[in-house]
Amino acid sequence: MTSEERKKKLIETGIPLKTINEESAREKSLRHGLPSTLHLYWARRPLATTRSILFAQLVDDPSAHPDQFPTQEAQEAERHRLYEIMKRLAVWEHIHDSQLYEEATRLIRESNNGHLPDVLDPFAGGGSIPLEAQRLGLPAHASDLNPLAVIINKALIEIPPRFHNQPSIHPADVHPRDRAAGLADDIRHYGQMLRSAAFRKVGSLYPPVKDEHGEEHTVIAWIWARTVTNPNPANPVPVPLVRSWWLSKKKGHEAWIKPTVHDDGSITYQVQHNADGPKGDDEGTVNRKGAVSIIDGTPIDFAYIRSEGQAGRLGAQMVAIVAEDTRGRLYLSPSRVQEQAAEINKPHNVPVGDIFDWPGRINVFRYGMTEFADLFTNRQLTVLTTLSETVSDIRQRVCEDALQAGMPQGLPLDEGGDGARAYADAIAVYLALAVSRQTDRCSTINGWDKGYQKIRNVFARQAIPMTWDYAEANPFSSKSGNFLGQVNWVAEAVESVPATPPSEAHQADAATRDYVNMVVSTDPPYYDNIGYADLSDYFYVWLRPMLEDILPSVTATMMTPKAQELVANPYRHDGKDGAARFFTDGFNQVFAHIRQTARTDIPMTVYYAYKQQDEKNGTSSGWHTLLDGLISAGWEITATWPVRSELSNRMLSNGTNALASSIVLACRPRPVDAPSIPMRMFNQILRRELTEELRTLMASGVDPVDMSQAAIGPGISVYSRYSQVREADGSVMSVAKALETINHVLDEVMGDADADYDPDTRFAMRWYQSYGWGQEDSGIADQLARSCGTSPAALVRGSIFQATGGKARLLRPEELAGNWDVLADERTSLWEAVVRMAGILDERGVDAVVPVMAQVAERMSLDDVRALGFRLFHEAEKRKDTEGAIRFNALVSMWDDLALGAMRERVNLQERVQGSLDLDE
C-alpha cells in the first residue's frame, strides 16, 4: 500500500471532541423534530456524534497534503479551520444551513478524488449513522438483521428521497416542498383520517367521565391495579397490587388514592386531593421485597403472585381516572359506568407471538404473560387491532387521491416505486409506525408518571418489566398517550430528514452481506447489553400484519430472527460461557469478513459501548476482547476517541471518572505482509510517535479527562500495524500488555516536561505525586526541595507551600483562589499559575480568571501553563483526587474561551499602559 493510497484522515489526528460531546449531550434534551421520534429503538447514538465522526473519517487531514500545507503551522491552521466547520456541523439547529452542508459535502468530495463514497452501517439499528451520512450528501446504506430496525431505516433514508421536494396531496399543493415536508403533511392528514375512522368504529368504548358537578370530561387514562387472591384462607378475596397510591405529586395539585376495605371484603377507592397521602412503606402494597394484603396485612411473596399469574388468576380493578380539564389533569374516583365500558370480549384477530423468558429483562413471562397479546387489555387489543386494520383502508384512499392529484401509478414501494402506489405504501408505513408507537403507550405495562403526570411508555428501560398498577391510555384523548400525538411525532421526524440523496435499507446478516466498495461506519451490538430481537417482537407482532403486503422483503419471518443475532444471551446460547463464545466468535467473524474487501483509502469506524464494569479491578476485559478481535481479524487501529453524551464534570463528580460512554475506533486494513518487530523497537517507535501525537491531541482541544483514552489510538496504532510484537523471550505481546506499555509510555512522555519546569514547579509536582495535598514532615520537604534546586522558604515565598511547626504541605487551589497581582508577584512559578487559576475558576468563575490569565501571559508561556494543567489532571486522576481532577479539567477544557478573553484583556492592558505613558509625556 502506498502512502498515496493511504492518506491520513482527520479522525486519525484530532477532532473537536469537546464540542461533539457537548452537542451530543444537549441533543438528549431536544425532544421535538429529532428523527428518533419516529419510533423507539434502543441504544441510539447521538446524531451530533455520528455526523462528526463520519465527516472526520472522510475528510483528509491537512498533513496528507504537504504540497498545500508544507509546514506544521500551516497544517495546524487548516486543521483548526476544519474543526470550526465540524463544530458548526455538530449543532442540530444548523441542519438546514445549506451553505454549511454544501461545504461539508464539497470537502468530502475533494478528499476522495472527486467522488462521494457510499457509506454502509451493517448494524444500523435506529439509523443514526446512515441518516447522518445521507445528511452529509452521501449515498447511505443501512442493513440490520432486525426487521424493526430495517423498517425504521427505510422510513428515515430510503422512502423520503423517492418523494423529495414533492408537494403534499393534503392540503392540495402545487408547489414543491422542501425535502420531505409534503410527505409529512400527508402523514398528518391521513393520520387524522385514520383516527377518525377508528373512532367511528370503537370510540364508544371510551366514554367521557362526569365530575361531581355532572360535567363531562374526556378521559386521559384509567388507572388499574392488578389483583391477586389474598393468600390468607380466612379472607380469600382479590387484593390490589399497587406500587404507589399517588397520582400527582405536583405541589399544590397533589392527588392520591385512598382504598377503603368494607366488611364484606370488598374494596373501594376514593381519590383525595391533598398532600397528606401515604408515605414510606404505606405508599403502595408492593415493593421490592414483596406485597402485603390491604385487607388483613398478610404478606404476599412474589413466588405466590407468579404462580397465581401462571394459573391465569391475576385480575385488575380500576382505582382512579385521569381526565382532561382546562387547568390540567383532573383526578377522579372510579365508577361502575367506567368499569363497564372496559368489560368487553377479546377480539379474534389479536397479534400472535410468544414472549421469550429472559429473567431480569422480560419479567412478565414469569407472571404468566407468555404471549404478546397477554400484555394488553381487551379494550386495548380492540382499539389497536382496529387502528391496525384500518391502515389498509387509508392506504387504498391515499392511492386514489394520489392518482387524482396526477401521480402516475408506478410500482409498489418495495419494488422501488415512486408513484401513487408507492406513495400510498409509504404513508401506510408511517401510519403503521404511529400505530406501533401507540402500542408503547397502550398496554398494561404502562405506568402513570406521578411527577410529569403522563403515561410512562413501556420501554423506559431496555426491558419489559412487570407493572402492578398501570395506566390505560385513551388513544382518542388529546393528551398524553393519544394517537394523534403519535402521528405528529412521526411527521415531525420525517420533516427533519434530509430526503436526499437516494439511499437504501435492507435486512441482512452482517456476517454474510456484501461490503464491496463501501465505507463502513458501524455501532455493533455490545455483548448482552440489549436483547434487540426479543424486545423488538413487542412491536413486530403489530407491525407485521400491517406491513406484510407493503414490505414483504422485510416481514418474511413470523418473529424477528434470533439465531444469528450477535447478542450474548445466556438463555439462548448455552449459559454464560456459551454466550460469551458465541458473541466473540460472531463479532470477529463479521470484522474478518469486512476486512476481505475493505477499502484501503478510507478508514472504517467502529463504536464500542464502554461498560463501567469493564474497568473493575483495573482490567477492561471487554475492551481487550474487542481490540484483540479487530487486530486478529487483520485491522490496524489508528485512532480511539472517547465519545459521550454525558458531561464530563458531572461524570467526574459522580465518581465515574474519565469513563466515556463509548469509544470510536478508526481502523485500516493491515497489509497481509506486515512485518513483526521486537519489543525494544516497539517501545522506541511508541515513544517517538506518542510524543508527537500528544502535542497534536492537546492542541486539538481534547479535554484532559479524555486524554488517556484518546492517546491509546496512536499507541495501539503502532502495535496493530505489525503482524506481531515479540517480547524478549520470543513470545507474542498481548493486547493487554500493549495497553499497559502504552499507558506507561504516556506517563513518561507527560513526565518528560519535568526537566524543563522551574524549580518550584518541579518540587511541587514531585511532592504532589507522593503526598497530594496532605501534610508531611518538614525534613522531607527540605530534602526534596534541595534536590529540585529550591528551598521550603522559597516555596513559601512563592505562595504555593506552607511549612510550620515541623509540618509542611502544598496549598490547595481553594486556598489560592483570592486576588493575585501577578505582575507585582516577586516569585511566581508555573505551578502557582495553574493552581491559582484552577482555584479562582472554581471559586469565583470565568470573569475572575480572565484578567489573571492576561497577566500570567506577561510572565510565562500560556502553552506551558496549559500543558501543566493537563499533566496535573492526569496526576490528580492517578491519585484519585477527584476534586483536583475536576478543577484542572475545568481549567483546561475552558482554555480556549479563557485565552480569548485574556487576549482582549491584554490589549486593554497594553492600551492602558500606553495611555498612561502618553499622559506622562
Q: Determine the residue type at 231.
A: P
State in angstroms the smallest separation of the CB of 507 from ligand SAM.
Answer: 8
State in angstroms the smallest separation of the CB of 662 from ligand SAM.
Answer: 10
What x/- string results for residues 3 through 42 when contact with ligand SAM is judged by CB under 6 A? --------------------------------------x-
Determine which residue in the list 155, 194, 305, 510 makes contact with ligand SAM, applying CB under 6 A.
Answer: 510
Q: How far apart are CA 653 and CA 442, in angstroms?
A: 39
Nearest residue relative to ligand SAM (C-beta):
125
Contact between 564 and ligand SAM by CB under 6 A: the answer reads yes
The answer to whether 102 and 592 are in contact (CB under 8 A) is no
Residue 641: beta bridge partners?
Answer: 664
The answer to whether 62 and 75 are in contact (CB under 8 A) is yes
Q: 57 or 761: whose CB is closer to ligand SAM?
A: 57
State in angstroms the smallest separation of the CB of 493 from ligand SAM.
Answer: 13
Q: How far apart are CA 111 and CA 477, in angstroms?
A: 53
Contact between 701 and ligand SAM by CB under 6 A: the answer reads no
Determine which residue in the list 56, 149, 541, 867 makes contact with ligand SAM, applying CB under 6 A.
Answer: 149
Interface with ligand SAM (CB under 6 A), residue total 25
Contact between 565 and ligand SAM by CB under 6 A: the answer reads yes
Q: 475 or 525: whose CB is closer to ligand SAM?
A: 525
Q: 232 or 589: whose CB is closer to ligand SAM?
A: 589
State in angstroms the smallest separation of the CB of 533 from ligand SAM.
Answer: 6
Contacts of 642 (CB under 8 A, 6+ apart): 17, 610, 658, 660, 662, 663, 706, 709, 710
State in angstroms the smallest separation of the CB of 698 from ligand SAM.
Answer: 30
Q: 524 or 813: whose CB is closer to ligand SAM?
A: 524
Cβ atoms within 10 Å of 167's Cβ, excluding its own = 18
Contacts of 918 (CB under 8 A, 6+ apart): none
Residues 105-134 that bind ligand SAM (CB under 6 A): 122-123, 125-129
Q: What is the CA radius of gyration of the chain?
A: 32
SS (H, E, C) 524-555: CCCCCCCCHHHHHHHHHHHHHHHHCCCCCCCC
Helices and strands in the chain, H and E counts: 28, 27
Q: How far apart are CA 259 and CA 292, in angstroms?
A: 14
Q: How far apart are CA 753 and CA 763, in angstroms?
A: 13
Q: Considering only the stretches 140-148, 186-194, 373-381, 395-403, report the one whose residues sit in contact with ligand SAM under the rule CB under 6 A.
A: 140-148
Q: How far apart are CA 455 and CA 472, in angstroms?
A: 8
State in angstroms the smallest separation of the CB of 105 from ligand SAM.
Answer: 22
Contact between 537 and ligand SAM by CB under 6 A: the answer reads no
Using DSSP, state whether 838 is helix, strand or coil. Answer: helix
Contact between 795 and ligand SAM by CB under 6 A: the answer reads no
Q: 126 or 839: whose CB is closer to ligand SAM?
A: 126
At residue 223, φ and ψ (nearest 5 deg) are: -100, 125
Q: How far apart are CA 127 and CA 146, in angstroms?
A: 12
Residue 392's closest CA among 154, 180, 193? 193
Q: How far apart are CA 395 and CA 428, in angstroms?
A: 6
Taken in order 679, 682, 688, 689, the sign of the CA dihedral is negative
Q: 190 or 582: whose CB is closer to ligand SAM?
A: 582
State in angstroms the smallest separation of the CB of 275 from ligand SAM.
Answer: 42
Q: How far apart are the first and last CA of the chain?
A: 69
Q: 13 or 153: whose CB is closer to ligand SAM?
A: 153
Contact between 45 and ligand SAM by CB under 6 A: the answer reads yes
Burial class (CB in 10 A: 0-12, 13-18, 19+), 3: exposed
Contact between 592 and ligand SAM by CB under 6 A: the answer reads no
Contact between 557 and ligand SAM by CB under 6 A: the answer reads no
State in angstroms the smallest separation of the CB of 40 from ligand SAM.
Answer: 10
Q: 333 or 436: whose CB is closer to ligand SAM?
A: 436
Contact between 146 and ligand SAM by CB under 6 A: the answer reads yes
Contact between 509 and ligand SAM by CB under 6 A: the answer reads yes
Using DSSP, state whether 39 is helix, strand or coil. Answer: coil
Determine which residue in the list 136, 323, 369, 566 makes contact with ligand SAM, applying CB under 6 A.
Answer: 566
Q: How many CA atoms lie within 13 A of 735 on its CB side?
A: 22
639: cell is: 485512532
Q: 43 or 116: whose CB is closer to ligand SAM?
A: 43
Q: 193 or 592: whose CB is closer to ligand SAM?
A: 592
User: Strand order in 518-522's β-sheet?
Assistant: 504-507, 140-144, 118-121, 518-522, 604-609, 662-669, 635-643
Q: 528 or 877: whose CB is closer to ligand SAM?
A: 528
Within 598-734, residue ranges assigned H as helices are 621-632, 648-653, 679-699, 704-721
Q: 54 or 129: whose CB is closer to ligand SAM?
A: 129
State in angstroms the smallest separation of the CB of 100 from ligand SAM.
Answer: 23
Determine which residue in the list 43, 580, 685, 794 makes contact with ligand SAM, applying CB under 6 A.
Answer: 43
State in angstroms the smallest separation of the CB of 128 from ligand SAM.
Answer: 3
Cβ atoms within 10 Å of 118's Cβ, excluding its own = 16
State in angstroms the smallest separation of the CB of 597 from ligand SAM.
Answer: 17
576: cell is: 454464560
Helix axes 181-202, 378-404, angle to 10 degrees: 130
Contact between 644 and ligand SAM by CB under 6 A: the answer reads no
Q: Considering only the stretches 243-251, 508-516, 718-726, 841-849, report the one whose residues sit in contact with ligand SAM under the rule CB under 6 A.
A: 508-516
Q: How far apart are CA 835 and CA 888, in angstroms?
A: 8
State in angstroms the smallest separation of the CB of 814 from ligand SAM.
Answer: 42
State in angstroms the smallest separation of the CB of 584 from ligand SAM.
Answer: 13
State in angstroms the smallest separation of the CB of 440 from ligand SAM.
Answer: 16
Contact between 144 and ligand SAM by CB under 6 A: the answer reads yes
Residue 502's closest CA among 157, 125, 95? 157
What x/- string results for residues 513 through 532 when contact with ligand SAM is judged by CB under 6 A? ----------xxx------x
Q: 308 or 565: whose CB is closer to ligand SAM?
A: 565
State in angstroms the smallest separation of the CB of 236 from ligand SAM.
Answer: 46
Contact between 561 and ligand SAM by CB under 6 A: the answer reads no
Strands 724-726 vs 676-678: parallel, antiparallel or unpaired: parallel
State in angstroms the smallest separation of the CB of 567 from ligand SAM.
Answer: 6
Q: 44 or 162: whose CB is closer to ligand SAM?
A: 44
83-106: burial string, b at 16+ Cβ within 10 Å, e else: bebbbebbbbeebeeeeebeebbe
State in angstroms the smallest separation of the CB of 46 from ligand SAM.
Answer: 8
Q: Considering only the stretches 112-120, 458-466, 509-517, 612-620, report the one whose residues sit in contact with ligand SAM under the rule CB under 6 A.
A: 509-517
Determine which residue in the list 9, 18, 44, 329 makes contact with ligand SAM, applying CB under 6 A.
Answer: 44
Taken in order 233, 238, 241, 245, the sign of the CA dihedral is negative
Contacts of 374 (CB under 8 A, 6+ apart): 355, 364, 368
Determine which residue in the list 511, 580, 736, 796 makes contact with ligand SAM, applying CB under 6 A.
Answer: 511
Q: Considering only the stretches 141-149, 472-480, 700-708, 885-893, report the one whose residues sit in contact with ligand SAM under the rule CB under 6 A.
A: 141-149
Return residues touching ligand SAM (CB under 6 A). 41, 43-45, 122-123, 125-129, 144-146, 149, 509-511, 523-525, 532, 564-566
